[in-house]
Amino acid sequence: MIENVLWIAVALMILSSIIPATRGIKFLTGGVGWIFFSLHWAYQPLHYIEISDYFNVVLTLAIAAFCLFMAHSMIREYKGPSESGLSQDTNIILMVTSATAIGSLFYFPFANILSLNQWIISNVTNATAGLLGLLGYNVESTWHMITYNGYTVQIILACTAIESIALFTGLIISINAPFKRLMSAFMVSVPVIYMLNIVRDAFVIVAYGDQWFGAESFEIAHHVVAKIGSAIALFVIAYVVMRILPELLDMIDGLWQMTTRQIRDILRKS
């Protein structure tokens, strides 16, 4: 049932992105899409509570609240559109909706359709095993597992970097900028993220197989070193992308200003 809610949300937001901005139904459609998207995220804490991951409980509830905020903003625009045309806040809402729709369209099929899930995991597994073989490491692999020195690592969807790829793809495509700059931003982000992720997976497998950090080699390599490295790499990539597409920085800053301003208004009224 919750998967149906997700697909309805994505379909409505994509439809909202296609409908011309001159038609009020665009905002109503997007607002309803955000409501369904909030229901999807509000359901996720049930899983994280079961595994005692309370950080993600708070995170998913915060995302659900943000989705409701976006829904409120779009429905408010539907009820009372500005007579002077699209305001800066409205443009930001539309860009964020488009970015979310496109990013979701790239990510959720891999997360929810078994054949696509297995395809991307197999692709990353083969690429990682190929890189290790090229570097002289004797590894054995199946479609989703790589064994080195008797230690086996299972490649799962989170090991494919599809989340980051979908995020950058959605953000870049949603920006209104010349095609040449959009392609430049895409090339310095998505292919680079994919290749760096293969290197990251290879590092974790070698560190685990050679027991670089003793008995806790996998935990340290995967949960500490690789995560810190990934965070630094994504920060650098995001910086380069925003240098190429300053419109993206304007969108992020505008979203922050709009959100904080409306929160202050709500607190002032209460």
181 is catalytic: no
Mean pLDDT over the full length of the chain: 90
pLDDT at 47 over 90: no
Q: What string of DSSP letters covers 208-247?
A: HHTTTTGGGHHHIIIIIIHHHHHHHHHHHHHHHHHHH-HH
Q: Catalytic one among 23, 67, 76, 159?
A: 159
Query: Measuring CA to CA, how many Å separate 270 from each of 256, 265, 266?
Result: 21, 9, 6
- Please name the residues in contact with 83: beta carbons below 8 A apart, sequence gap of 6 or more: none
Tokens of 24: 């009020």
Determine contact, residues 200/183, Cβ cutoff 8 Å. Answer: no
pLDDT band at 1 (very low <50, low <70, confident <90, very high): low
Stated pTM of the model: 0.85
Query: 235: which strand partners?
Result: none
Segment 112-139 shows an average pLDDT of 96
Q: pLDDT at position 2, please?
A: 65
pLDDT (tens digit per residue) in 216-238: 999 999 989 999 999 999 999 99
- Say which of 23, 200, 243, 268 is annotated catalytic: 200
Tokens of 239: 């910086």
Please provide residue 147's backbone torsions phi and psi, each rounded to the nearest 5 degrees: -115, 130
Residues 153-210 have pLDDT tens digits of 999 998 999 999 999 999 999 898 999 999 999 999 999 999 999 999 999 999 999 9
Q: Which residues contact 72 (CB under 8 A, 6 or more apart)?
A: 31
Is residue 200 part of the annotated active site? The answer reads yes
- Taking the C-alpha atoms of residue 270 and residue 265, their distance in angstroms, rounded to an integer, is 9
Least confident of 22-26, 235-239, 251-255: 22-26
Q: For residues 233-256, give the mean pLDDT.
A: 93
pLDDT class of 84 with cuts at 50, 70, 90: very low
Q: 170 with 100: CB under 8 angstroms? A: yes
**Is it the case that residue 121 has pLDDT exceeding 60?**
yes
